[in-house]
């Protein structure tokens, strides 16, 4: 069964450093998303991406964040200058052909900012 | 008012019990509805989509009431492996390709032997 994959599974970084989180969505999916979950809190939407551009972003997704689909398979989330409060689990998700389709999530990257 | 509201639980039930989870949502732009389950420190996994006509998948039954903006999940004959957090999720679609999932805080289910 096709699945969303994410690397790395755990990333530790120093405050102020840049991090890039990588995702490979399911191959025939057209819509891509990033969510985050701070420990003990609910899953929060960050950004959606379709047709090589951002279609929606939350207030969390400020100028420090960016997304890219550099080739036909990878989807990346970059945080330019990490803060302590960026420590969270980051989930990538993808959905098939319509925005109201089910979204399938990757296993997540646990980001720890020291 | 929270966009998606759920009873956080925990629900502690014996094996074989029937358990019901409820959820309300506030955004009338919500167009599709789901239950996901999340095991500790893992990703949300899709359990089932929810339709107004109601839908069933084995021991799981989900129902949507658009008029009262209410979603439910019923688990019959609960198993130890059902222990997890159940997430009520609505998909806000703004038009065209713009959409996002809004998650509830989740309801923790612990099935006891």
B108 touches chain A (CB under 8 A): no
Confidence of residue A13 (pLDDT cuts 50, 70, 90): very high
Predicted local confidence at residue B11, as pLDDT: 95
Nearest CA in chain A to B104: A42
Q: How far is CA A42 from CA B53, B89, B102, in A?
A: 28, 11, 9
d(CA A43, CA A111): 15
B41 touches chain A (CB under 8 A): yes
Neighbours of A45 (CB within 10 A): 21
Predicted local confidence at residue B51, as pLDDT: 86
Chain B nearest-CA distance from A87, in A, is 14
Chain B nearest-CA distance from A55, in A, is 5
Q: What is the pLDDT along chain B (113 residues), one digit of tens a residue?
A: 789 999 888 999 999 999 999 999 998 888 899 999 999 989 999 999 998 888 999 999 999 999 999 999 999 999 999 999 999 999 988 877 788 999 999 999 999 99
Predicted local confidence at residue A55, as pLDDT: 93
B31 touches chain A (CB under 8 A): yes
Q: What is the SS3 assignment for B54?
A: coil
Question: What is the token pair recorded at B78?
Answer: 């609960």
């Amino acid at each position: 069964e096709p699945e969303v994959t994410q690397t790395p599974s755990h990333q530790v970084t120093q405050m102020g450093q840049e991090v890039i989180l990588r995702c490979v969505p399911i191959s025939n999916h057209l819509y891509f998303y990033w969510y985050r979950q701070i420990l003990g809190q609910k899953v929060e939407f960050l950004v959606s991406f379709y047709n090589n551009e951002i279609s929606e972003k939350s207030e969390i997704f400020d100028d420090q964040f960016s997304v890219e689909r550099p080739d036909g398979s990878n989807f990346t989330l970059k945080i330019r200058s990490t803060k302590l409060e960026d420590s969270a689990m980051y989930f990538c998700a993808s959905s098939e052909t319509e925005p109201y389709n089910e979204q399938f999530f990757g296993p997540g990257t646990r980001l720890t900012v020291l | 008012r929270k966009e998606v509201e759920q009873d956080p639980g925990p629900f502690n039930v014996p094996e074989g019990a029937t358990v019901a989870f409820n959820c309300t949502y506030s955004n009338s732009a919500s167009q599709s509805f789901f239950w996901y389950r999340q095991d500790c420190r893992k990703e949300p996994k899709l359990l089932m989509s929810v339709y107004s006509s109601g839908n069933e998948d084995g021991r799981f039954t989900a129902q949507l009431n658009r008029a009262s903006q209410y979603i439910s999940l019923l688990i019959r004959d609960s198993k130890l492996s059902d222990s997890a957090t159940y997430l009520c999720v609505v998909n806000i679609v703004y038009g065209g390709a713009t959409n996002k999932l809004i998650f509830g805080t989740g309801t923790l289910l612990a099935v006891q032997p």
